[in-house]
A = this chain, B = another copy of it.
Amino acid sequence: MSCEKDTAQALKESGHRPTPQRLLILGALRHAGGHVTAVEILEKVRASYPYVDISTVYRTLTVLKEMRLVTETDMGGGESQFEWAGGEGHHHLVCKGCGKVALLDDQRMKALGKGIMSSYGFRADLGHFAVFGTCAECLKKEE
């Protein structure tokens, strides 16, 4: 796979060492295909490299966030969710009632971002967004 090389290169160029731990963490993030918590990353990485520490995961995530390769989102439950920043932005409708998470199409958010930019000159970081509320099912139950 060439992607491992690419990210190794990216790390080097920004003055960081491409250690095995970092590459494994990167791999875990890329193959997750969605959000993962720091602990989930740890578990995935430990499958092939058992002596990795949670602090290394956090430190690596900090580096990757600085490089804008990874995004962090707080979805309300105390733990942060991390995600590979490669794909198209996508957003979440988090139901406060049942905890289910649905996806929200990107179009609507892009339009919002454009509007904010033209009105305020503020570049909204809408690559990954969580909207809280109540889903259709729980709305029914409320009555």
CB of B139 within 8 A of CB of A93, answer no
For A131, what are the chain B residues with a Cβ–Cβ distance below 8 Å?
A: 116, 124-126
Chain A stretch 86-129: residues in CB contact (< 8 A) with chain B: 93, 95-96, 102, 104-105, 108, 112, 115-116, 119-126
For A123, what are the chain B residues with a Cβ–Cβ distance below 8 Å?
A: 133-135, 139
CB of A135 within 8 A of CB of B121, answer yes
For A119, what are the chain B residues with a Cβ–Cβ distance below 8 Å?
A: 105
For A122, what are the chain B residues with a Cβ–Cβ distance below 8 Å?
A: 93, 95, 102, 133-136
For residue A74, CB closer than 8 A to chain B, the reply is yes
For residue A76, CB closer than 8 A to chain B, the reply is yes
Tell me the bound Cα distance from A116 to B91 in angstroms. Answer: 12
**What is the copy number of this chain in the assembly?**
2
Tell me the bound Cα distance from A85 to B123 in angstroms. Answer: 28
Q: Which residue on B lies nearest to A115, using beta carbons?
A: B108
Tell me the bound Cα distance from A124 to B108 in angstroms. Answer: 14
CB of A112 within 8 A of CB of B108, answer yes
Q: Which residue on B lies nearest to A93, using beta carbons?
A: B122
Tell me the bound Cα distance from A95 to B120 in angstroms. Answer: 12
Tell me the bound Cα distance from A74 to B75 in angstroms. Answer: 9
> Given B93, B95, B115, which contacts A116 in the complex, CB threshold below 8 Å?
B93
Tell me the bound Cα distance from A106 to B85 in angstroms. Answer: 29
Name 5 interchain pairs, CB-CB below 8 A, sorted by A. A74-B76, A102-B122, A108-B112, A122-B135, A122-B136
